[in-house]
Amino acid sequence: MNYLVIGGLFFATAIAEIIGCYLPYLYLRKEGSAWLLIPAAISLMIFVWLLTLHPAASGRVYAAYGGAYVIVALLWLRVVDGVKLSATDYIGAAVTFAGMAIIIWGWKSP
């Protein structure tokens, strides 16, 4: 698997997880419909399935996935929640992306 495919898979995985957690949040905290729990459960099932598609040991996948999750969560904060990102948000995203890239790069090593 090439790095672009792995990165795309990580970001798709993070989106599935965030949607799966955001919909119950809407139900529990924002008085949303209980029907939101159905697509939430489906999204979390997709999240788990996507994790199985990664080409490395699960511990490495989870470690690298953390970087993608941070970036997607910050994008969610900006786009969905409408919160302007700070300089430290950008710096933190860059650091976590670098950590994720180092871990993924190491997958090719013995």
Q: Which residue has the tokens 């029907």?
A: 35
> Does residue 60 contact residue 92 with C-beta atoms inside 8 Å?
no
* Counted domains in the chain: 1
CA dihedral 79, 84, 90, 91 (to 10 degrees): -150
Across residues 9-26, what is the average pLDDT?
95
> For a pLDDT cut of 70, what percent of the chain falls above it?
95
For residue 62, give its domain range: 3-106
Mean pLDDT of the chain: 90
Global pTM reads 0.84
For residue 109, the model assigns a pLDDT of: 52
Q: Compute the distance between CA of residue 25 and CA of residue 19 in angstroms, rounded to an integer.
A: 10
| Neighbour-count burial of 22, counting CB atoms closer than 10 A to its CB (0-12 exposed, 13-18 middle, 19+ buried) | middle
pLDDT of 39 over the 80 cut: yes
